[in-house]
Structure 1
Amino acid sequence: MSSSDRAARQSRRRGVAAILLALVALGGCTVQPLYGDRSPAAGALAFDSAVLASVDVAPARDRVGQEVRNHLIFLLGGGKGQPSSPVYRIDLGVAALESSGPTIETKASTLEPSSGIMTVRSRYTLTEIATGKVISRGVRSVQAAFDIPAQEFAALRARRDAQNRAARELAELMRLVIAQELRAATSTQSPAIISTPEELQERDRPGEPASF
């Protein structure tokens, strides 16, 4: 066998060895979703979609609030609707506020807004139904920019579209907030194991190695 053949075989062996090492390294890596199950060894209780699906969303007071509620129910239940036996309840107080964007000068030499910013804000209270305990409360808001056409009906349509977009984004934000708050509320920390003086003396008797 020539030296070039031996060099080629050694090169192939090194390549195979590198691939095997890479596969072993990848085998030790795991990817976990943000809302997926977590091992108790990680220091928290198992948390999955069933917990989010146990949240009841209180009725809304207006159209924009209903948009937020509908999307939030879909996100929490995975499209299955409200839970039949809810464990938690979230109350939302939704409001839509419009502010003007940049202005332009028209032929009549008057300043009219050419765009706007729609802010959809909600106060929320997350409660455990059985005990009435308030797990979390706060305020979250989302903004959506939109153009204001000169035609009145088109302008109304643009405002409603902006409200709907902001409502959907707020529902997604609220799902994240609920998941974070419930994870914190249901997580537990393993208690530290503390030995008594008698146990320490028994453990460290002469003739036996001390353990730490």
Structure 2
Amino acid sequence: MSSSDLGGLRRFLTRGLLALAVSATAACGFQPLYGDRGVGAGAAEKLNSVEIASIPDREGQKLRNLLIDRFYESSRPGNPRYRLDVVLTATEQKLALQKDASAVRAQLLVNAPYRLTDTADGKVVFASSARSMISYNILEQHYAGVLTVENAYDRALQEISNDITTRVAMHLGRGS
């Protein structure tokens, strides 16, 4: 066989394997999370039927705002089918202690148990917990230290909002 024949055979085999892989993915029941294929509406439309309850404290307000931005495309639901309740707790742990017992590194653990309740009958249809662990440097300058801690909280809340949104969308996408 010539080199041009081998090149053509390789392309043919590569395309055949690619077609086989694509058809195998379609046969396994894969469908996009935010797509409109399948039974009912897409996850984005179902997320729009969830009311997000108030979460106490400043970090709770930030988390609620992140969830609102992710759940609602344009406006909040007028007659929500579900209610999402989230409880937010955070702990800080000092790491990397120096000889004088001062810490130069810290770790922030934010935990957010949540539950999705059907507003029609008050039953909890889904409950889970999201958590995030963020490390940051402890700085000597007061203002810079405050900003570093605030940035750590913001990163943790972003991770938690992504996790909650994905899990609730997956649950609602199952046709609950």
Q: Could you tell me the TM-score, scaled by structure 1's length?
A: 0.67
Q: Offset at 1:182? A: 2.1
Residues 156 and 132 (structure 1), Cα distance of their counterparts in 2 relative to 1, 3 Å cut: same
Is 1:63 equivalent to 2:58 in the alignment? Answer: yes
Equivalent in 137, 141, 151 of residue 127 of structure 2: 137
Q: Offset at 1:69? A: 0.8
For the 8 Å contact 1:64–1:95, the answer to whether it is kept is: no
Residues 170 and 26 (structure 1), Cα distance of their counterparts in 2 relative to 1, 3 Å cut: closer
Q: Which residue of 1 aligns with 2:137?
A: 147
For the 8 Å contact 1:92–1:123, the answer to whether it is kept is: yes
Identity %: 27
Q: Which residue of 2 aligns with 1:205?
A: none
Q: Which residue of 2 aligns with 1:117?
A: 107
RMSD (Å) for aligned C-alpha atoms: 3.0
Equivalent in 68, 73, 86 of residue 73 of structure 1: 68
Residues 168 and 141 (structure 1), Cα distance of their counterparts in 2 relative to 1, 3 Å cut: same
Residues 184 and 147 (structure 1), Cα distance of their counterparts in 2 relative to 1, 3 Å cut: same
Q: Offset at 1:26? A: 8.1
Alignment partners' CA distance in 1, 2:90 and 2:130 = 12
Alignment partners' CA distance in 2, 1:92 and 1:177 = 13
Alignment partners' CA distance in 1, 2:21 and 2:121 = 46
CA deviation profile, 1:80-122 (whole Å, cap 9, x unmatched): 24222211110111122111121223xxxx1211111111111
Q: Which residue of 1 aligns with 2:157?
A: 167
Alignment partners' CA distance in 1, 2:83 and 2:140 = 43
Bigger Rg, which one: 1
Paired residues in the alignment total 169
